[in-house]
Amino acid sequence: MKKLLAMLLAVLMLLGASPLANAAFTDEGSIRDTYKKAVDEISAMGVIGGFTDGSFGPKQILTRAQAAKILCVMLEGAEKVEALTKLETGFSDVPTTHWAAKYVAYCVDKGIAAGIGSGRFDPDGKLTAAAFGKMLLVAYGADAAKFTGAEWMKNVQDSVGDAFLDYKAGNFDSRELSRQEAAQLAWNALFAKEADEAATKDMASRPMPKSVPESIKIYSIGSSFSNNCVLGYLYEMLQAVGVKNVTLGALYASGCDLQTHLKYAKSGEPKYKFYKRDSNGTGKWKTNKKVTFDQALKDEDWDIISFMQTPSHTYQPAKNQLMYYVQKEHPDANFVWNQIWAHAKTSKQSAFVDLWDADQDKMYSGMIGLLQQHVLPDPRIRTLMPTGTAIQNARTSFLGDNLDRDTYHLNKGIGYYIASMTWCCALTGCSPEQITLTDKLLKYPPRGFDANTPGLLDALVKVAQESVANALAKPFEVTQSKYKTFPG
């Protein structure tokens, strides 16, 4: 098994260098949009080639002989496969003169493929999704004996989740598999293995700022929750503490979790809005619609790239694969993690109710536990923005559970202010007391308060500074506020 995986890793090294250029097949227009990127990647590696007429045949059903070649090249690499000499397969319908003889012989020797009985392999037989899934799993080192008998297909479906994340386990059934689907699965398998390997290694990143830098380029990959941190006061706060050149980018798709980001990244679907603001331009936010993951990712040489997960229990394997995808494009960037906040106690949002039993304390402690399990051990994460703890700290003040605007998104005044301050301090090393920016803070007063209330502005700034300072000092526990009652 170790030898098999070592061979797989050898060909995986090709993935990082493989071009994303269009494969230029004559029937390129017939390839489904969501499979085009996988076809380009996998054909560039020589894993799946076209036909002599220049076509790819995306909707043709994968044959057993073609599958043997795919697995052989995946494990050995295109150049080494050409040097294989064994042609004897032991099957009457795959003589040594057959084009796929060496691929079939290789897969049979490795236990990846077997005949259909009566001394036949059936090289032109159409392959099912379940059968190809079985071949991929065995190539990964799974015990082939697990996928025999009456329950073999169910066992395949139960085993494929981690390796083939963006292809539903239930799709590994008796239906026939197209060549474009096979390309996607082959790329998924190769990518997943390489991402797992990368997750154990530190990145050669630029040093994180220990003091206020002269320039900074921050890119947020998230949803409306991360937008609450980036689109509010962050730009002004960074400039207020002395950052001369600020560039902010925020990739947004509603409710987008790690799994969905990975799916969109690998499919190239234009599902995003991309918000950008920089001091080299007008200094105002610009919004581009129908943007792909790659377009935003490559828009700048980002210094700091932020990730986050929605209120979900599921982090892996999407976290490792998405981070690896980004790491390939920006190997020197610093990766940071945005800690999400618990919903208001009155929230009826489905994740809050279904996953966290509509319990704010349970959600907060649960999200902390998931961070400690999945994020903190990752050597690629340079720092944590303890936004969720800062918000929870503020809830112990006179503000109570009134920092939201709809029970889960933050209030555009004090909620955004605390989130932006947390990011600014975590990323520059400045202290909350250095940030006294109050412009527009009372434009959106917290629920239960009037903007004209005497002393409100000063009290809000004090709570924000205290909550953020305590979160930075103790990011995984709630610190009680000393401002229990409104001073007015």
pLDDT in tens, 225-265: 999 999 999 999 999 999 999 999 999 999 899 989 998 99
Same domain, 248 and 355: yes
Same domain, 175 and 282: no
d(CA 155, CA 142): 11
Interacting residues of 38 by C-beta distance below 8 A, sequence separation 6+: 180, 183, 184, 186, 187, 188, 266
Residue 484 lies in a domain: no
Residue 254 lies in a domain: yes
Residue that finishes a domain, picked among 173, 198, 223: 198
Same domain, 73 and 160: yes
Q: Which amino acid is present at 161?
A: G
Residue count of the chain: 488
Q: Which two tokens stand for residue 66?
A: 């073609």
Same domain, 144 and 221: no
Residue 207 lies in a domain: no
d(CA 91, CA 95): 7
Same domain, 194 and 220: no
Quick check: 42 and 158 in contact, CB under 8 A?
no
Same domain, 408 and 265: yes
Same domain, 164 and 250: no
Quick check: 189 and 133 in contact, CB under 8 A?
no
pLDDT of res. 281: 65
- Share in percent of the chain as helix, strand, coil (round to 5): 45, 10, 45
- The structural domain count of the chain equals 2
**Left, alpha or beta for 349 (phi > 0: left; psi -120 to 50: alpha)?**
beta
Handedness of CA 346, 352, 356, 357 (dihedral sign): positive
> How far from 335 is each of 126, 233, 257, 418, 477, CA to CA, in Å?
44, 21, 17, 21, 23
Residue 210 lies in a domain: no
Residue 147 lies in a domain: yes
Same domain, 173 and 45: yes
d(CA 419, CA 232): 8
Residue 427 lies in a domain: yes
Q: Which amino acid is present at 446?
A: P
Residue that finishes a domain, picked among 143, 167, 198: 198
d(CA 63, CA 123): 7
Q: Which single residue is written with the structure tokens 């944590």?
A: 384
Same domain, 420 and 468: yes
Same domain, 73 and 20: yes
Same domain, 174 and 232: no
pLDDT in tens, 61-120: 999 999 999 999 888 887 888 888 899 999 999 999 999 999 999 999 988 998 989 999
pTM of the model: 0.85
φ, ψ at 418 (rounded to 5°): -65, -45
**Left, alpha or beta for 407 (phi > 0: left; psi -120 to 50: alpha)?**
left
Quick check: 37 and 15 in contact, CB under 8 A?
no
Residues of the chain falling short of pLDDT 50: 1-23
Q: Which single residue is written with the structure tokens 């493929």?
A: 113
Same domain, 49 and 115: yes
d(CA 225, CA 311): 10
Residue 136 lies in a domain: yes
Residue that finishes a domain, picked among 198, 227, 244: 198
Residue 451 belongs to domain with CATH number: 3.40.50.1110
pLDDT of res. 5: 42
Domain residues for 465? 215-473
Residue 204 lies in a domain: no
